[in-house]
Structure 1
Amino acid sequence: MTGIPKQLPFTNGAGKQWLSEMMPGFILCLVVGMAAKFVSEHYGGPTILYALLMGMSLNYLSQEGRCIAGIQFAAKSVLRFGIALLGARITFEQLLGLGFTPIAIVLAGVPATILFGYFCGQWLKLSKSQSVLSGASVGICGASAALAVSAVLPEDKESEKNLIFTVISVTALSTVAMIAYPLIVTGLNLSEAESGIFLGATIHDVAQVVGAGYMMSDDVGDVATFTKLLRVAALVPVVIVISLLFAKKGKAKSQGGSSLPLPGFLIAFVVIVAINSTGYIPQLVLDGMTELSRWCLIIAMVGLGMKASFKELSEMGWRPIALMVAETVFLAALVAIWLFMAR
């Protein structure tokens, strides 16, 4: 019968060779990711951090052997696919329902934190890419923002090490904030709405925002979660702007030879958010996309961890840590001042 291919894409020689190269490393990352998920569910703590640390303990596997190609595939291709699916978590209606105050705080806080990180990083003699990466991770949504922004920053020999260091640092700071910030908002005598806005606008990772918010009350948790979603939505324009800026300087990463400076995963993210906002995607499908995105990011973090080592991270010195702590304090102070002025 004409018009029907005699072979499926992965049954020809090239497809079989690709699978044989990718599968060992990919399956390894999946198994380690499942172990990280198990530890997180049974003993507490962020899954992504466990995945990263477990991957780093297997760093030698990325140096030689059959797993190299699959680890690289997990750290790049799976990562970008997972970022695109993050769009299934938010809608425009959710964000607009927050009112003016959290929107204004996010619109001011996100770019201010990134700019603060950039100039502070320059003062600390860090690279522009590392300064922007840390500022975006603190200002937007922690590890997810770091993963997305790193995909449009210029590649060099330090790129992956900077990303891994940023993910570890921002996750650790977010965990500390989850414990400390509820005590801070209580000491500042903030209302439930103000407490939720503060937690959602300052804590880095979504999971820690939810934990800190609902630790105080359901109302605080609801406001904190929606405020955090607004920060997550800021990922789209921020990555677009960063991509355009580096493209203008002729430094952007190659995106398959396309003249469009925007990476495909970012376009897919925006499209998914827009479609999700229409309400046409069934809830079962949204749940599946969200879960798949979560697993893609876990697998990607295992792959990234396998490509780094504790020795390499220890050689980065005190400056990157000082930068991220300074950005965290700056963002918290900015939001607190804004809330007091808005009363």
Structure 2
Amino acid sequence: MNTSTLTTTSRPVKTPPPLLAGLALSALIAAAAIAAARIDWLQSHGFSALTLAIVLGMLAGNLGYQRIAPSCAAGVNFSKQNLLRLGIILYGFRLTFQDIGHVGLSGVLIDVLVLCSTFGMALLLGTRVFKLDRETAMLIGAGSSICGAAAVMATEPVLRAKPAQVTVAVATVVVFGSLAIFLYPLLYQLNLHWQFLAASPQAYGIFTGSTVHEVAQVVAAARAISPDAANTAVITKMVRVMMLAPFLMLLSAYISKKSCAARKAGSSAQGRLAIPWFAFGFVAIVALNSLHLLPSALVSHANDADNVLLAMAMAALGISTHFSSLRTAGVKPLVFAAVLFGWLIVGGALINMLVLRWLG
């Protein structure tokens, strides 16, 4: 008898993990979130499909998911990793380089200064004052300084953060971004009296777009002021979103440098640079969309597909998060995010005032 034949035939055959069940669960929750996001009351209060998807996902993940986890885990992980990256790439169809021209040099500079100051403050205060782990501080900083939940999710692969850390960061975006929807129209009325910023709706639109967390929240807050403020706010916000790709590349280089510095002195080993390749895809799609070569219907379908992909990723993240892990995080992340929110209002207003007076 040939022993090699026995060895070959007795070796277990590896089969690929089933993705269908987890993908179907993520898609079902995403569909429910997208449908709910069309409700007028939720739209007017800035609740996007992404926000609702993670909430519904958390409910599903904590109410009986463990019974079906063995068959769904692979598909859920695929959704929150691979589909997320594809969703960020397709997010580029919402932007063009021409958007920069609509807000001018002053709007771009304001966005850059708000982003850099907010994330720098997050990195400094989060780890040294609030004693948070680096990943949570950076995720909250990314969500506050760029574009809310989408920025948090895009930053997660670079940091290799845990689902609970990502969920805590997204929660802060939901809380303070929702608060901004009601607060910013009140601040506009106060500004008409005190004239701290230029009183025009356009100037206040730049302030709103450069400091509010989510795109949906920017729209809700600015529409309460005027259509002109809303248009300017959305364009300013889109320019801020466009900074996501260079931010991820710089963050990856920073993480690699810190990894090198943490090694013992005299070691010749280098830290591994985790290149966020999907960020390059994001920029490529923005460049393609800027050429206006694609039919508007195709771009619209791409945006619809992107909504589904990102909602599935958020749903999968919610499924993977347990309430016990959020309780473990405590109130520190919320207080920390409140400090950043205060900076976005006060520091952001100061940046807007100085830049607009300097550049007109």
Mapped partners of 2:113, 2:297: distance in 1? 35
Q: TM-score, normalised by structure 2?
A: 0.84
Q: Is the 8 A contact 2:114 2:351 kept in 1?
A: no
- 2:175 corresponds in structure 1 to 172
Q: Is the 8 A contact 1:94 1:226 kept in 2?
A: yes
Mapped partners of 1:46, 1:279: distance in 2? 27
- 2:135 corresponds in structure 1 to 129
Runs of 4+ in 1 over 3 A off after TM superposition: 248-251, 339-343
Q: TM-score, normalised by structure 1?
A: 0.88
Query: Does residue 38 of structure 2 align to residue 41 of structure 1?
Result: yes
Mapped partners of 2:22, 2:160: distance in 1? 26
- 1:55 corresponds in structure 2 to 57
Aligned with residue 299 of structure 2, among 277, 283, 286: 286
Aligned with residue 285 of structure 2, among 263, 269, 272: 272
Shift in Å, 1:335: 2.0
Q: Is the 8 A contact 1:62 1:68 kept in 2?
A: no
Query: Does residue 190 of structure 2 align to residue 187 of structure 1?
Result: yes
Query: Does residue 117 of structure 2 align to residue 112 of structure 1?
Result: yes
SS at 1:83 equivalent: helix
How many equivalent pairs are there?
318
Aligned with residue 32 of structure 1, among 20, 29, 33: 29
- 1:140 corresponds in structure 2 to 146
Aligned with residue 326 of structure 2, among 293, 306, 313: 313
- 2:10 corresponds in structure 1 to none
Aligned Cα root-mean-square deviation (Å): 1.9
Where does structure 2 lack aligned partners over 5 or more consecutive residues? Answer: 1-12, 193-198, 261-271
Aligned with residue 98 of structure 1, among 80, 97, 103: 103
Shift in Å, 1:250: 4.2
Shift in Å, 1:106: 0.8
Shift in Å, 1:100: 2.2
- 1:162 corresponds in structure 2 to 165
Shift in Å, 1:70: 0.9
Aligned with residue 75 of structure 1, among 75, 80, 92: 80
Q: Is the 8 A contact 1:61 1:68 kept in 2?
A: no
Where does structure 1 lack aligned partners over 5 or more consecutive residues? Answer: 1-12, 252-258
Mapped partners of 2:323, 2:37: distance in 1? 21
Shift in Å, 1:98: 0.9
Q: Is the 8 A contact 1:86 1:290 kept in 2?
A: yes
Return the letter of the residue paired with 2:147: C
Shift in Å, 1:62: 5.5
Mapped partners of 2:168, 2:157: distance in 1? 15
Mapped partners of 1:52, 1:228: distance in 2? 22
Deviations 1:283-328 (Å, cap 9, x if unpaired)?
Answer: 1221111111111110111100000112210110111111111111
SS at 1:67 equivalent: helix
